[in-house]
Amino acid sequence: MQTFINPPRSEWAALTERNIPDDPAVDEAVGAIIAEVRAKGDTALREMALKFDRCNVGALEVSEAEIAEGCARVSDEVKAAIGLAKENISKFHAAQMPGEVDVATLPGVRCLQRPVAIDRVGLYIPGGQAPLFSTVLMLACPAKIAGCREVILCTPQSGDRPIAPEILYAASVCGIDRIYRVGGAQAIAAMALGTETIGRVDKIFGPGNRYVTKAKQKLSSVVAIDMPAGPSEVLVMADSSADATFVAADLLSQAEHGRDSQAILVCDSEETARKVDAEVSRLMTCLSRTESVEGSLSHSRLIVFTDNDDMMDFVNAYAPEHLIISMRDAWALASKVRAAGSVFIGNYSPESAGDYASGTNHTLPTAAWARSYSGVNLDSFMRKITYQELTREGLGLLAPTIVAMAEAEGLDAHALAVKVRIAEGQKS
């Protein structure tokens, strides 16, 4: 990992850049996949399953018998872990339920706002070497708490191997309505456009590789998506009160996600940077995903700021997906955070806690999108509908304002809709 000492602000733009290469080939390939799904529906999904996942798909939907068989293969230990994680995630998200807003802005003018769940949502869960069954919990729990009428899930099946039983079990205990063995950009296209088997959804959630991300971006004109997303990332703030081994483990836990992931240490001394760097080198020899870790660390950084204000300003400029504050007065520093997906306070709050079981959601904005997006929460699965009711008295009070504004904009019919009512009221 490269070390930077008190970098001037003129260099910050380069230091906050992510490793997200723009690949025209990905764009072209995803465009072709979307076109195929739009034109051929289920047939395209089966052809692509064979081409990309080496899976000869018969029924696209996973049967109840398959789900039951998969659930039976999950160990009691993992079932218990999923149970506790689900309980905590549900508890935290249930507390987010928004209330109704009911305000009289003037006598006889009543304005309301009511939360309403999105009817149909689609969840994408990657398969591969690290089947993210934890993400099932993070997305399905709030969807069900919000009251979505239908929740479907797409996940790839690779070769002759069945879908990871942990994914099936998590989906089952969360009450997901339908599961489809469809992966990649084609899954996103199927949920966005609809096929003979997979119904079109109103909003798509979930992480994925560059092809999945590009498909979500391309299809966001026809379906809502949770947020723009890129490779996962962590930034750790540390001072001499931090345990170097803990910090190194936090950096490595992010680096193992993949070669494009990024791990950043921002600390207050060169000594802290050296200690953490040494621990990273020591601990990484014990890890199984060596290639991912090495690739990630090649574009990760150790940055020293001797001024705490500069440190905080840099953190906000980076806008990390995950922010760990392992420093004295961590809560005081946390109050100055303006851009982050999720914040972890103190030496005993690893990113892993939020990734799995503390209760907060791990579906978070990456690539500095934390400047403008929140992580997934209960509101992500809801809409807000406004209502208004005006009495004759209320309209009379507002009429001069509405007419003046409408006529100033040259919208005479808008003014007329008020004038005819006022005139009718004056007759009676």
Q: Find the radius of gyration of the CA atoms of the chain.
A: 25
pLDDT of 331 above 90: yes
What is each CA distance from 353 to 149, 264, 296, in whole angstroms?
A: 30, 19, 21
Which pLDDT band, with edges at 50, 70 and 90, does 428 fall under? low
The pLDDT value recorded for residue 58 is: 86
Beta-carbon contacts of 17 under 8 Å, excluding residues fewer than 6 positions away, are none
- Quick: pLDDT tens for 97-134: 999 999 999 999 999 999 999 999 999 999 866 789 99
Tell me which CATH homologous superfamily contains domain 24-96+117-225. Answer: Nitrogenase molybdenum iron protein domain (3.40.50.1980)
Task: Give residue for tokens 């205990």.
Answer: 173
In the chain, what percentage of residues exceed pLDDT 70?
99
pLDDT at residue 15 in the model = 94
Looking at domain 230-374, its CATH superfamily turns out to be Nitrogenase molybdenum iron protein domain (3.40.50.1980)
- pLDDT-based confidence at 190, cuts 50/70/90? very high
pTM of full prediction above 0.85: yes
| 3-state secondary structure (DSSP) of residue 127 | coil
| pLDDT, tens only, 221-237 | 999 999 988 889 999 99
Q: What percent of the chain lies above the pLDDT cut of 90?
A: 86
Q: What length does the chain have?
A: 428
Would you say residue 329 has pLDDT above 70? yes
The answer to whether 354 and 378 are in contact (CB under 8 A) is no
Q: What pLDDT is recorded for position 159?
A: 82
Q: Are strands 224-225 and 203-205 parallel, antiparallel or unpaired?
A: parallel
Average pLDDT for 282-309: 90
Say what the pLDDT of residue 323 is.
Answer: 98
pLDDT at 230: 82
- Report the pLDDT value the prediction gives residue 130, as an integer from 0 to 100: 73
pLDDT category at 300 given cuts 50, 70, 90 is very high
- Provide the pLDDT for residue 291: 86
pLDDT at 425 over 80: no
Q: Rounded mean pLDDT of the chain?
A: 95
In whole angstroms, give the CA distance from residue 208 to residue 91.
Answer: 27
Q: Please, where in the chain does CATH 3.40.50.1980 lie?
A: 24-96+117-225, 230-374
Q: Which amino acids are annotated catalytic?
A: 321-322
